[in-house]
Structure 1
Amino acid sequence: MIRLGLSTPGVIQMPGVASTWEAGMTPADLATVARAADDLGYDYLICAEHVVVPVAERARRGDVYWDPVATLSYLAAHTSRIRLATSVVVLGYHHPLQIAKSYGTVDVLSGGRVVLGAGVGSLQPEFELLGAQFEDRGARADDALRALRAAWATPEPDYDGEYYAFSGMSVRPYAVQAHVPIWVGGRTRRSLRRAVDLGDGWMPFGLGFDELQTMLASVDLPDGFDVVLSTAAALDPVGDPQRAATVLRRLRDVGATAVTCTVGAVSADHYCDQLAALMALAQELEGDPA
């Protein structure tokens, strides 16, 4: 069966996608949703990263982005099985050892459930505000991914790269997973190549089915490589199960191994009902021929 994850409600509020109730979501609501997803067999919960969003960009990107380290730590305390993923950490905003320390700590708190979604980033004013380098961010991101591979799951990492180098430093706590999965975000062929060469999966956004199919056909994907696609618009599996099933089927057929889902709702309880209905649809599709 195709694995389902969630664009966690409330913690990312995209204009035209987020439901009205999410604006008033409480921590108790968030915990209710997380526990329901955990119990129903969802594979992962997503939290994005933006430190700031320019007011001029608010109508397009939204400006509600809960801090992923704090949010995933909270979710870890209210769940026991579901994985905790970022979509995405902007690599250029952090030293690789800062990422290894922060998300290694979340990995400890969650018992080894972190998935690091990582990307190059595109919001130049945010880079400038944070004092991060924008022009060579792609090359820096590649080096950061290599550095992270060297830094995960070891207290004294050693790395010597183009932009980052470290040795003789202790980083505790560190990830309990021997291999923390890294899903690389992006929407270009270069991001797909980066994912194949340096990651464990590709997490594209803003691409149509034809573009996705063409790009995926252009590379040889390693065994076990994840293609993490998104429903984009909110689904209504209770009110319109046919459309929800069609979207899941199309994403599966284009190559998704996992789907990050957004569902519409009017409350936390309604959201949980939607999750149950969507998981039932996914189970029904399991025997459906591709």
Structure 2
Amino acid sequence: MKIGINSPVVVQLPGAFSPWEAEAGIDELGAVAETADALGFDFLTCSEHVMVPADIAAQRGGTYWDPLATFGYLAARTTRIRLATQVLVLGYHHPLAIAKRYGTLDRVSGGRLVLGLGVGSLEEEFALLGATFEGRGAIADDALRALRASLSQPRPTYDGEHFAFRDVVVEPHAVQPKVPLWIGGRTPRSLRRAVELADGWVPFGLSPTELATLLGRVDLPAGFEVVLSPERALDPTREPGATADALGVLAEAGATSASVRVAADSAQHYREQLAALAAHLPAAE
């Protein structure tokens, strides 16, 4: 099971981030990324919200760094670690806008993009952006098909129910022949969407038993990625046994990758925790 880092600083959920993150900036984040890259972790994450209503921010948090700008910077400070949006909301973007912007990121990072994508649930944000909330699942499915047709193509063509284009040039485009697409969500429908239209599933808010049950109901394609997260931040320095147990629970539930947070009281402490966590990485091939 590979291990990726649920990046600190960039998302600050109430009760789930450390005080040092509120004061940290790009230098601290860049140092963490460099350490994760050098140690052999599989990916870094960054999520997306354009805005969160003030009354909802108390539950969902209000700090969300823009993934495109953040990853553009981190791409220059790393060499091999993958850069995973976790997640972009499909309804906020035209598929060709994602293909152009994130295809460019794939180019400048040397083919390290992973597009984590979701349907979205914050109706107020849809309304602010002029995006369609009702029927967003069907629109997202069509967007996924359009993305698959366009991400790695300089002259994409697509004719779908909600999106259609031809005789266009999108340059630069992604350098990966097939950019990995991960679908976020916690419902059976999100898992079916991931199996049918994407390359991986990133669920949230489900117990290991619930995850194992859902995964047991579907036939996963070869190479399909299941990215699960421990229920709490890991403390590999002080609790190596508990860390191993937590990762083992994810593997038993069907994870191919773990997306983890580590407990830390500073950026330097975070890097030290990553060094301890690296003992649990799979052996290099």
TM bracket (short chain) = over 0.9
Give the Cα separation in 2 of the matches to 1:219 and 1:267.
42
Contact 2:185 2:202 in 1 (8 A): yes
Change (3 A) 1:68 1:232: farther
Contact 2:41 2:281 in 1 (8 A): no
Matched, 1:83 2:82: yes
TM-score by length of 2: 0.98
Contact 1:232 1:261 in 2 (8 A): no
Q: Secondary structure at the match of 2:8?
A: coil
Per the alignment, residue 67 of structure 1 pairs with: 66
Contact 1:231 1:247 in 2 (8 A): yes
Q: Secondary structure at the match of 1:88?
A: strand
Give the Cα separation in 2 of the matches to 1:177 and 1:281.
28
CA-CA distance at 1:281 after TM superposition: 3.2
CA-CA distance at 1:246 after TM superposition: 1.1
Matched, 1:249 2:261: no
- Aligned positions of 1:28-67 closer than 5 A: 28-67=27-66
Matched, 1:200 2:199: yes
CA-CA distance at 1:104 after TM superposition: 0.3
Per the alignment, residue 191 of structure 1 pairs with: 190
Q: Which runs of 5+ in 1 are unaligned?
A: none
Per the alignment, residue 278 of structure 1 pairs with: 277
Aligned partner letter, 2:59:
R
Aligned partner letter, 1:18:
F
Give the Cα separation in 2 of the matches to 1:60 and 1:242.
31
CA-CA distance at 1:283 after TM superposition: 5.0
Give the Cα separation in 2 of the matches to 1:233 and 1:131.
36
Q: What RMSD, in angstroms, separates the aligned Cα atoms of the two structures?
A: 1.2
CA-CA distance at 1:232 after TM superposition: 3.8
CA-CA distance at 1:27 after TM superposition: 1.3
Give the Cα separation in 2 of the matches to 1:232 and 1:118.
22
Q: Which runs of 5+ in 2 are unaligned?
A: none
- Aligned positions of 1:167-186 closer than 5 A: 167-186=166-185
- Aligned positions of 1:1-290 closer than 5 A: 2-283=1-282
Aligned partner letter, 2:64:
Y
Range with greater deviation from structure 2 (226-235 or 34-43): 226-235
Runs of 4+ in structure 1 off by over 3 angstroms are 281-284
Q: Percent identity?
A: 58
Give the Cα separation in 1 of the matches to 2:18 and 2:263.
6
Contact 1:107 1:114 in 2 (8 A): yes
Give the Cα separation in 1 of the matches to 2:148 and 2:122.
25
Give the Cα separation in 1 of the matches to 2:233 and 2:21.
13
Give the Cα separation in 1 of the matches to 2:108 and 2:41.
19
Contact 2:2 2:282 in 1 (8 A): no
Q: Secondary structure at the match of 1:118?
A: strand
TM-score by length of 1: 0.96
Give the Cα separation in 2 of the matches to 1:254 and 1:188.
16
Aligned length: 284
> Any idea what the Cα deviations from partners look like across 1:208-242, whole Å, max 9, x if unmatched?
11110100000000000000011242111112222
Q: Secondary structure at the match of 1:206?
A: coil
Q: Secondary structure at the match of 1:9?
A: coil
Aligned partner letter, 1:259:
A
Contact 1:232 1:262 in 2 (8 A): no
Give the Cα separation in 1 of the matches to 2:209 and 2:22.
34
> Any idea what the Cα deviations from partners look like across 1:157-195, whole Å, max 9, x if unmatched?
000000000011111110011100000110000000000
